A = this chain, B = another copy of it.
Amino acid sequence: MYGPINPKAPFIWHGGDYNPEQWPPEVWVEDVRLMQEAHYNVPTVGVFSWVSLQPDEHTWDFEWLDRVLEMLHASGRYFVLATPTAAQPAWMSQRYPDVLRADNTGRRHHHGRRVNYCPNSPNYRRFIREVASRLAQRYGGHPGLLAWHVSNEYGGTCMCEVCAEAFRAWLRRRYGSLEEVNRSWWTRFWGHTYTDWSQITPPYANGENLTHGLTIDYKRFQSEAMLECFKIERDAIREHSPDVPVTTNLMGTYPLLDYREWAKEMDVVSWDCYPWPTADPGDIAFLHDLNRGLKDGRPFILMEQTPSSQNWQPVNQLKRPGVLRLWSYLAVAHGAETVMYFQWRRGRGGCEKFHGAVVEHHGRTDARVFREVSELGAELERLGDATIGAATPARVAVMFDWNNWWAIDDAVGPVREKRYVETVRQHYRAIWRKNVPVDVVFSDSDLSRYDLVIAPMLYMVKPGVAERIEGFVRGGGVFVATQFSGVADEHDLAFEGYPGPLRRVLGIWVEEIDALYEGQVNHIVMADGTGTYECGRMCDIVRTETARVVATYGEDFYAGTPVVTENRFGEGRAYYIASHPEDRFLDEFYGLLLLEQGVQPVMETPAGVEAALREKDGARLVFLLNHNPEEVTVRLPEGEAFLELLSGEELRGEIVMAAYDVRILRADA
């Protein structure tokens, strides 16, 4: 159980991006009228409005924003207030060119687009501090204000000279001596030893980009530098608005920022959810669970989603009727406290003018999308605080780690496409398909609360991680590792033998790694004769030490050698899956493990119907989500009755769910 994000508004926020500065005031009046109709009760204001607030270095204009916020509030709305710092004004780039980012050859960008600032630029940092401070001073106490939305979708990389210099300072702090840098980066390779700090550069595309200690440290440094920008704004805000939570909108498994580190600095996690129309709902669920995991289970803000379509994909298909509602509840089922959109009203110009919006260019309210949004808004309003602050009682965890991802992607060999994220998702989905709640955890997470921890492709094992895993297993947990694990330390230096520090808990060592061509397969042959499954891509050739062989390879010169092993360790067990398996293997493998660990599904459902669980005030909230494009019948547990929260009806026995329909069943303990 958690408190609401802001005690002023203990309900599901329904709203999102609103850019009144793009429109004349007469449209604002219409906006408020339509928001009323759409139950759009928490608009996000201010994103990208910098030049409207600060038309030149020494001029400020808050009047328009005063009026907008007043109108919103007067009409009964709350709002999220954004700082505008995701795109600096043209005058700033012009007068202070160091605010502009440089590309991966060190060449400065021209002004334009967005997120085009150097995160280490002293001028940029000075300006963001000032604008954040002024906004907080002026609006920090506004009764309508629910949260601060700092900047927007941080990302990218800068390789300018300011960054280069800051990087060298960062390295001095991190390593203390140049000798330690050389040692950690294995620079004797190709004679790359640095003999002076000044020789170190960013990993330019046309320079040094194959020293992996350098490349991963530069990613860490840039992630931290951008986080520093966030912190500058956050701290400026807190000074004047200490009681309002501060966040920034994340982007799922965005590759370049270590969100786990970011979350530690955020009061509440928020994120923008843009799955492809053809996405597996399990992959969307994974992202929600990941965001919930960033703060160890705390519910989060769904800051953006499209009401209808995206615009930047090759093909931007409309969400079919009902899918917006379904995916909104999917978010809530996995921890969202809000249902918010990009965007309220489509701009007439700009490169997002074909991005879905609540109010489309025609501006009509008798349109499908506006109606769906409005009906959802009304329904959410009726739901009140029923789901607010609910927890997710997961006993299974899947581990994800940005540093690990970076190192895997840098690794040259054994195959070019390592597919770390896809692999994590594959394991996640195998559990998710069983209607078993999963937490996404990180390499620094506390594992003690779980029965099963899965760490797919844990290539990089940072200090303390193996110890934590050993402790978890010793205490009775079941741990699953896969191919290409325990390969390198936090500097991406290979261990002298894989799986490195995981060797003891897994009871194996890896002699070689074979790589299979696309379309080429080997097989997992269960030692007990229960089945044979395809595997491929990478095949670790494994030798057991204390482990026993659960399955062997079916083909090739390593036929008959271990492909799945089990090691009893303390009170628990640790498994190694040495090759990339087909889904069917994971279904059966995890089915057995969950049975043995006594982990039950939330509910048994037909294919394509998800049952997700949250708990609040001792009651179980079961979200039934029909991901199928057709009607389905679900049989509720024998003899149990549930209060369905959306309809207020009591349900039992067989229920019929329409295509994409949702039920929220409450069962009190």
Contacts and interface: CB of A to CB of B under 8 A. Distances in A.
A411 B209 contact: no
A45 B111 CA distance: 46
B416 A315 contact: yes
A164 B190 CA distance: 28
Interface stretch (A85-93, A137-145, A295-303): A85-93
A315 B515 contact: yes
Interface in A469-516: 491-498, 509-516
A530 interface: no
A258 to B, nearest CB: 21
Given A186-B348, A316-B415, A557 B362 contact: no
A349 B90 contact: no
B512 A207 contact: no
A518 B355 CA distance: 20
Interface in A47-75: 48-52, 55-56
A638 interface: no
A88 B195 CA distance: 13
B497 A314 contact: no
A306 to B, nearest CB: 11
Given A195-B51, A310-B413, A414-B316, A112 B208 contact: yes
Nearest to A202: B110
Interface string A225-254: 000000000000000000000000000000
B112 A196 contact: no
Interface stretch (A262-270, A363-371, A570-578): A363-371
B199 A111 contact: yes
A189 to B, nearest CB: 3
Given A312-B413, A492-B349, A512-B369, A321 B557 contact: yes
Copy count, this protein chain = 3
Interface size class of A (residues with CB under 8 A): 35 or more
A367 B511 CA distance: 7
Nearest to A491: B349
A308 interface: yes
Contacts of A597: none
A360 B310 CA distance: 48
A224 interface: no
Contacts of A511: 360, 362, 364, 367-368
Given A316-B415, A354-B414, A516-B315, A498 B361 contact: yes
B517 A190 contact: no
Interface stretch (A210-218, A424-432, A605-613): A210-218
B413 A195 contact: no
A189 B412 contact: no
Interface string A553-571: 0001100000000000000
Contacts of A113: 190, 207-210
A496 B110 contact: no
A513 to B, nearest CB: 8
A433 to B, nearest CB: 25
Nearest to A509: B362
B512 A22 contact: no
A177 B318 CA distance: 39
A273 B446 CA distance: 49
Interface string A88-124: 1111011000000001011101111110000000000
Contacts of A310: 413
A598 interface: no
A315 B66 CA distance: 60
Given A212-B349, A354-B411, A515-B316, A196 B311 contact: no
Given A22-B189, A351-B212, A314 B94 contact: no
B361 A207 contact: no
Contact of A416 (B48, B211, B314, B362): B314
Given A493-B348, A494-B349, A512-B369, A415 B208 contact: no
A189 B350 contact: yes
Contact of A87 (B192, B194, B311): B192
Interface in A156-180: none
A317 interface: yes
Nearest to A88: B191
7 contacts: A87-B192, A110-B201, A110-B204, A212-B351, A318-B513, A346-B494, A349-B494
Given A19-B188, A311-B412, 13 more contacts: A56-B195, A109-B207, A110-B208, A112-B207, A210-B350, A211-B351, A213-B349, A278-B517, A308-B512, A310-B413, A316-B413, A361-B496, A368-B511
